[in-house]
Structure 1
Amino acid sequence: MSKSEVVIPKFSELPLREGDPPYSAWGLYGKDDQLGTLNRLADRIVRDAARKEIQTGKRISLNWPLNAQRDHLLFGRQAFHQRIFQLSSYIVNDDTWSFNSQGSSQWDGLRHFGYQKEQKFYNGVTLEDIHNEKDTGVNGVHAWSEQGIVGRGILLDFHRWRTLNGIDFDPFESQSIPLEYLKATAKAQGTEINFGDILIVRTGYIEKTRSASREQLQARAEIELPPSGGVEQSEEMLEWIWSNFSAVAGDHPAFECWPSQKPWMLHEVLLAGWGCPIGELFDLDKLAEHCEKTGRWSFFVTSEVCNVPGGVASPPNILAIF
């Protein structure tokens, strides 16, 4: 497929092949593809985004510190640990880092979450393909590092919109954000959606985390499946994402409402079905403040995932540029 032109089938045409999992798009970019919806970020789309969105040079990091959760990580994940040591007798330091790639801001990669019933990852990769002595690294995040996740980003500040409209929502509870609310947020902001955009949703999760007590955070960490608010599980939500975006992200732990309120999960379709990156725990508070100040909720995004062959996930190393 030409880098200058991207054509996708209609959502109603999914799955593309008989016998493939629900809503999947396996084979759309070839049986060996590992970029999924990042194929939508054609050179022309990235070039146009840079020309239109970079106006002032203002840069804002969306990276939460790697040690932000410290001793209250969710899902039993390993905390970040740093060791600083002096090299020999010189006045020189080195350090080593040990951490779970999903312990703070992260992109979920295509090895992270598969179709649960079918037990397969993007393009039919199996657990056996990954957990064997001859692991080829297929579906690893290193494939994304070659060109990065780069393009036009839009912030849908649902937290701001629902506060202004008196709508109750607790990001620490399993509450769904309906598609109509996201569309209403975009309309209130005057935010136009372009094909290939990187969708970023602010729920207020990290803002609440900052104000929560240590006891509250530790109590959540002890729950096997700690609840969190997120976008609804629905065909309408899937069709909207499929028709518009190259990647999705938010400030909350699972992007979608968690645990799922349906027998299936968005993670299955987005990651395993389409190869769509899911960003989680992005620190969006400074971004939201700048967007409100300038009245502009679109920007250029540059995210360079770590070049780890066969990696399951990666810190995003992400900047919004205005």
Structure 2
Amino acid sequence: MQETNEVPEFSALPFKPGDPPYSAWGLYGDDDQLGTLNRLKDELVVKTAREEIQTGVRISLNWPLDAQSKPGFGRQVFHKNVYQKAPRIVNDDVWTFNTQSSSQWDGLRHFAYQKEQKFFNGVTLDDIQSEKKPGINGIHAWAERGIVGRGVLLDFHSWRLANNIHYDPFKTGSITLEQLTAVAEEQGTQIKFGDILIIRSGYINAFNRLSRDTAEAYALAVPPALSGVEQSEAMLEWIWSNFSAVAGDQPSFECWPTQKEWHLHEILLSGWGMPIGELFDLEKLSEHCKKAKRWSFFVTSEVCNVPGGVASPPNILAIF
């Protein structure tokens, strides 16, 4: 039995004439900056912790911040400067990096509706860049409560290998809703309302086996060609009806370039206020899920408290 879904039906979107396609602006108020994280109510978190934390095993889903050695997808890589504070034997360090060069949550300042040029709840680029509305839609809004709830791993990579299905993470292609529901069925994984969806496509598994030159060539391609979740109305309805956040191990959660006139990014981020996680390292998580024969777990993720930030490392753990 699915958990009670307290949100309007997908067919009701958008709520107001003139709002962008499939948007849910105003659902939690015109000034809301939590979007679908409003689904992670205190009582749901308590219930999830009681049900999902059984053994205390903790697994990080954070790819190293310096995992990519050269700029990829137009983003600066991680640099670390460790220096001694002479004459004492004391070290400090300075880090500089693009927040989307490794594991990340995309925040609500990241990807607007491209045609309408509006971010979540109608915020404009001028609102953000001129600070007419200081900090509006910044990543810091998620820091106070974190992204905490029941995570489910749909291990598409293991499923497709077992079923002899071809998939190339470095070419434009789609993981379909039919495939994802088949993965859940084969795993015996029940989807519950408010879940944090995590999809293992196999990207990082494949990336780790590439030579450095080949990996850098893929990362420098313009435009990048990537496989990910399909763009379809059925996929949108499934995500809207079930999840509080979505994530995967790909550089782009969705198929890239888009195969439609719209992107999942603009609808999820700017239409619904739903966090999109990318480049999560799911290899150890996959191994443990297979060993434990369970693909659900407690998730705790604390974004960096940067007022007006666009994205953030997830600082994420799966707890069994």
Q: TM-score range by the shorter chain?
A: over 0.9
Once the two structures are superposed, the pairs formed by residues 271-310 of structure 1 within 5 Å of their partners are: 271-310=269-308
Q: Give the aligned residue type for 2:84.
A: Q
Instruction: Report how far residue 6 of structure 1 moved.
Output: 7.1
Distance between the aligned counterparts of 1:218 and 1:268, measured in 2? Answer: 27
Q: Give the aligned residue type for 1:311.
A: G
Instruction: Report how far residue 228 of structure 1 moved.
Output: 1.1
- Counterpart of 1:41 in structure 2 is 40
**Percent identity of equivalent pairs:** 69
Distance between the aligned counterparts of 1:180 and 1:44, measured in 2? Answer: 32
Instruction: Report how far residue 133 of structure 1 moved.
Output: 5.0
Distance between the aligned counterparts of 1:191 and 1:261, measured in 2? Answer: 29
Distance between the aligned counterparts of 1:219 and 1:75, measured in 2? Answer: 10
Are 2:55 and 1:56 aligned? yes
TM-score normalized by the length of structure 2? 0.98
Q: What SS does the corresponding residue of 1:237 show, helix, strand or coil?
A: helix
1:253 to 239, 251, 254: 251
Q: What SS does the corresponding residue of 2:59 show, helix, strand or coil?
A: strand
Q: What SS does the corresponding residue of 2:245 show, helix, strand or coil?
A: strand
8 Å Cα contact 1:74/1:226 also seen in 2: no
- Counterpart of 1:227 in structure 2 is 225
Are 2:216 and 1:218 aligned? yes
Distance between the aligned counterparts of 2:251 and 2:130, measured in 1? Answer: 29
- Counterpart of 1:104 in structure 2 is 102
Corresponding residue pairs, total: 317
8 Å Cα contact 2:5/2:193 also seen in 1: no
- Counterpart of 1:26 in structure 2 is 25
8 Å Cα contact 2:204/2:249 also seen in 1: yes
Distance between the aligned counterparts of 2:5 and 2:178, measured in 1? Answer: 27
Instruction: Report how far residue 44 of structure 1 moved.
Output: 1.0
Q: What SS does the corresponding residue of 1:45 show, helix, strand or coil?
A: helix
Q: Which moved more, 1:107-116 or 1:82-91?
A: 82-91
Instruction: Report how far residue 74 of structure 1 moved.
Output: 2.3
Q: CA RMSD in A?
A: 1.0
Q: What SS does the corresponding residue of 1:302 show, helix, strand or coil?
A: strand
Q: Deviations over 1:251-271 (max 9, x none)?
A: 001111111111111001000
Q: What SS does the corresponding residue of 2:286 show, helix, strand or coil?
A: helix
Distance between the aligned counterparts of 1:94 and 1:74, measured in 2? Answer: 28
Q: Give the aligned residue type for 1:234.
A: S
Q: Give the aligned residue type for 2:222.
A: E
- Counterpart of 2:11 in structure 1 is 12
Q: Which moved more, 1:84-93 or 1:155-164?
A: 84-93
TM-score normalized by the length of structure 1? 0.97
Instruction: Report how far residue 75 of structure 1 moved.
Output: 1.7
Are 2:242 and 1:244 aligned? yes
Q: Give the aligned residue type for 1:67.
A: D
Instruction: Report how far residue 134 of structure 1 moved.
Output: 4.4
Q: Give the aligned residue type for 1:164.
A: A
Q: Give the aligned residue type for 1:45.
A: L
Q: Give the aligned residue type for 2:109.
A: R
8 Å Cα contact 2:5/2:241 also seen in 1: no
Q: Give the aligned residue type for 1:12.
A: S
1:91 to 82, 89, 92: 89
